[in-house]
Amino acid sequence: MEPIKKIEEGLKELYDSNAGKVERQPDVDIYDVGENLVFYIDMPGVRKDSIKVRVYDKAVEVLASPTQPDGGGKPIRRERISNFPISRRIEVPYRLRVDSAKAVYRDGVLQIVVSKAGEYGVAELKID
Protein backbone atom coordinates (compact mmCIF):
# COMPACT_ATOMS: atom_id res chain seq x y z
CA MET A 1 0.00 0.00 0.00
CA GLU A 2 3.00 2.33 0.27
CA PRO A 3 2.90 3.45 -3.43
CA ILE A 4 -0.81 4.31 -3.16
CA LYS A 5 -0.17 6.36 -0.02
CA LYS A 6 2.57 8.31 -1.85
CA ILE A 7 0.21 9.00 -4.76
CA GLU A 8 -2.52 10.21 -2.39
CA GLU A 9 -0.06 12.53 -0.60
CA GLY A 10 1.23 13.86 -3.93
CA LEU A 11 -2.30 14.58 -5.16
CA LYS A 12 -3.19 16.30 -1.87
CA GLU A 13 -0.07 18.48 -2.11
CA LEU A 14 -0.86 19.37 -5.74
CA TYR A 15 -4.44 20.23 -4.78
CA ASP A 16 -3.37 22.37 -1.81
CA SER A 17 -0.71 24.26 -3.79
CA ASN A 18 -3.23 25.11 -6.56
CA ALA A 19 -6.23 25.85 -4.34
CA GLY A 20 -6.20 29.57 -5.14
CA LYS A 21 -5.77 28.98 -8.87
CA VAL A 22 -8.49 26.40 -9.43
CA GLU A 23 -11.94 27.77 -10.30
CA ARG A 24 -15.10 26.14 -9.03
CA GLN A 25 -18.49 26.02 -10.71
CA PRO A 26 -21.40 26.27 -8.30
CA ASP A 27 -24.55 24.16 -8.68
CA VAL A 28 -27.39 25.86 -10.56
CA ASP A 29 -31.14 25.31 -10.89
CA ILE A 30 -33.04 27.23 -13.58
CA TYR A 31 -36.81 27.58 -13.74
CA ASP A 32 -38.92 28.85 -16.62
CA VAL A 33 -41.76 30.80 -15.00
CA GLY A 34 -43.65 32.22 -17.96
CA GLU A 35 -42.11 35.55 -18.94
CA ASN A 36 -39.03 35.07 -16.73
CA LEU A 37 -36.17 32.68 -16.08
CA VAL A 38 -35.19 32.25 -12.43
CA PHE A 39 -31.69 31.03 -11.58
CA TYR A 40 -30.78 29.64 -8.15
CA ILE A 41 -27.02 29.36 -7.66
CA ASP A 42 -25.52 27.78 -4.54
CA MET A 43 -22.70 29.95 -3.19
CA PRO A 44 -22.46 29.26 0.57
CA GLY A 45 -19.87 31.24 2.48
CA VAL A 46 -19.28 33.72 -0.34
CA ARG A 47 -19.40 37.41 0.59
CA LYS A 48 -22.06 39.37 -1.29
CA ASP A 49 -19.60 42.13 -2.20
CA SER A 50 -17.30 39.63 -3.96
CA ILE A 51 -20.03 38.44 -6.40
CA LYS A 52 -20.32 39.82 -9.93
CA VAL A 53 -23.28 38.94 -12.17
CA ARG A 54 -23.31 39.67 -15.90
CA VAL A 55 -26.32 39.12 -18.12
CA TYR A 56 -25.79 38.73 -21.85
CA ASP A 57 -28.32 38.35 -24.65
CA LYS A 58 -28.41 34.55 -24.18
CA ALA A 59 -26.31 33.78 -21.10
CA VAL A 60 -25.79 34.62 -17.45
CA GLU A 61 -22.31 34.70 -15.94
CA VAL A 62 -21.47 34.59 -12.24
CA LEU A 63 -18.00 35.38 -10.87
CA ALA A 64 -16.78 35.61 -7.28
CA SER A 65 -13.47 36.09 -5.54
CA PRO A 66 -12.44 33.66 -2.80
CA THR A 67 -12.86 34.59 0.84
CA GLN A 68 -10.07 33.48 3.11
CA PRO A 69 -11.09 33.03 6.74
CA ASP A 70 -8.17 33.29 9.13
CA GLY A 71 -8.00 29.73 10.44
CA GLY A 72 -4.90 30.49 12.47
CA GLY A 73 -2.72 27.84 10.91
CA LYS A 74 -1.75 25.85 7.85
CA PRO A 75 -4.79 24.42 6.05
CA ILE A 76 -4.96 20.62 6.02
CA ARG A 77 -7.95 20.35 3.68
CA ARG A 78 -9.75 23.02 1.65
CA GLU A 79 -12.98 22.00 -0.06
CA ARG A 80 -15.52 24.75 0.62
CA ILE A 81 -16.58 26.60 -2.52
CA SER A 82 -15.82 29.96 -0.87
CA ASN A 83 -12.09 29.08 -0.83
CA PHE A 84 -11.89 29.17 -4.63
CA PRO A 85 -12.52 31.68 -7.39
CA ILE A 86 -15.99 31.00 -8.77
CA SER A 87 -16.81 31.22 -12.45
CA ARG A 88 -19.95 29.93 -14.14
CA ARG A 89 -21.42 30.91 -17.52
CA ILE A 90 -24.89 29.53 -18.14
CA GLU A 91 -26.22 29.52 -21.71
CA VAL A 92 -30.00 29.52 -22.16
CA PRO A 93 -32.21 28.83 -25.20
CA TYR A 94 -33.84 32.28 -25.00
CA ARG A 95 -32.84 35.83 -25.71
CA LEU A 96 -32.73 37.72 -22.43
CA ARG A 97 -33.85 41.24 -21.63
CA VAL A 98 -30.66 42.51 -20.04
CA ASP A 99 -32.34 45.63 -18.64
CA SER A 100 -34.83 43.53 -16.65
CA ALA A 101 -32.33 41.45 -14.64
CA LYS A 102 -32.38 41.47 -10.83
CA ALA A 103 -30.21 39.56 -8.35
CA VAL A 104 -30.64 38.79 -4.64
CA TYR A 105 -28.15 36.95 -2.41
CA ARG A 106 -29.60 35.39 0.73
CA ASP A 107 -28.66 32.42 2.91
CA GLY A 108 -25.85 31.32 0.57
CA VAL A 109 -28.06 31.23 -2.53
CA LEU A 110 -27.88 33.75 -5.37
CA GLN A 111 -31.24 34.25 -7.10
CA ILE A 112 -31.29 35.92 -10.51
CA VAL A 113 -34.53 36.80 -12.31
CA VAL A 114 -34.36 37.76 -16.00
CA SER A 115 -37.18 38.39 -18.47
CA LYS A 116 -37.19 36.41 -21.70
CA ALA A 117 -37.18 38.33 -24.97
CA GLY A 118 -38.02 35.33 -27.17
CA GLU A 119 -36.74 31.97 -28.29
CA TYR A 120 -33.73 31.28 -30.44
CA GLY A 121 -34.24 28.81 -33.19
CA VAL A 122 -35.11 28.40 -36.81
CA ALA A 123 -38.32 29.51 -38.44
CA GLU A 124 -39.53 28.26 -41.79
CA LEU A 125 -41.51 31.01 -43.44
CA LYS A 126 -44.46 30.68 -45.76
CA ILE A 127 -43.88 32.68 -48.88
CA ASP A 128 -46.85 34.83 -49.94
What would the pLDDT profile of 45-71 be if each residue is shown by its tens digit?
889 999 999 999 899 999 998 876 666
> Could you tell me if residue 88 is inside a domain?
yes
> pLDDT tens for residues 71-110?
677 777 777 777 788 899 999 999 999 888 999 999 999 9
The per-residue pLDDT for 42 is: 93
Give the domain extent around 43: 23-66+81-119
Q: Give per-residue burial for 61-79: e unless 16+ CB within 10 Å, then b.
A: ebebebeeeeeeeeeeebe
The per-residue pLDDT for 116 is: 92
pTM (2 d.p.): 0.73
> Could you tell me if residue 71 is inside a domain?
no
The per-residue pLDDT for 122 is: 60
The per-residue pLDDT for 34 is: 93
Q: Is 120 helix (H, G, I), strand (E, B) or coil?
A: coil
> Could you tell me if residue 7 is inside a domain?
no
* CATH code at position 44: 2.60.40.790
> Could you tell me if residue 10 is inside a domain?
no
> Could you tell me if residue 1 is inside a domain?
no
How many whole angstroms separate alpha carbon 106 and alpha carbon 17? 31
> Could you tell me if residue 85 is inside a domain?
yes
Q: What single string gives the DSSP state of each residue in 69-91? A: ---SS--S----GGGS-EEEEEE
The per-residue pLDDT for 54 is: 93
What's the structural domain count of the chain? 1
Question: How far apart, in Å, are the Cα atoms of 103 and each of 61, 88, 90, 113?
Answer: 12, 15, 15, 6
